[in-house]
Amino acid sequence: MEETPEQRHLVERARGRQQFKHNDRVIYEWDQDLNEVNIYINPPPGVRQKDLDIKIEPRRLSVGLRGNPPFLQEEFQGLVKTSESFWMIEDGELHINLQKSAKGETWLAALKGHQALDAFTQSEVQKKLMLERFQEEHPGFDFSGASFSGQAPDPRSFMGGVSYK
């Protein structure tokens, strides 16, 4: 069955950046792949990298301006490798890159207690991660046009689990 343009748009949106909103205001956007979770925040105008106070711990993130209480101080949905995680300002946007400790794990939210992915989005993210895993395990093949009919398996545990290369 051929996807309609509306269905394609929904799939692309589900596999792209997710928004966390509070009182109808976007606090941050986030996305994930097989190895990492990325959080994107638009800082106030004029804020430079040296003005920020950001701490990435294995289970917690703290984001704020130096000398002020944190803007965000929350636990992660999963465990991160702090030695491989980093942050930077890129094109005026704060980009926090978190390396997952459990490769292939599907995070339902970037931060605990924040809105979780709905069932459709979760399914599409899982399909995206599964295709990334196939691509990594079979680099000579092109999975760009591949799709799943029905529910995708868990990319972390499918057929013996992911390999850590």
Tens digit of each residue's pLDDT (9 = 90 or more) over 53-70? 999 999 999 999 999 999
Can you give the pLDDT at residue 130? 81
CB atoms within 10 A of CB 51: 15
Six-digit token string for 82: 């702090």
Tens digit of each residue's pLDDT (9 = 90 or more) over 68-78? 999 999 999 99
> At which residue do the structure tokens 């013996």 appear?
160
Mean pLDDT computed over every residue of the chain: 88
pTM of the model as a whole: 0.84
How many whole angstroms separate alpha carbon 138 and alpha carbon 132?
A: 10
Can you give the pLDDT at residue 164? 59
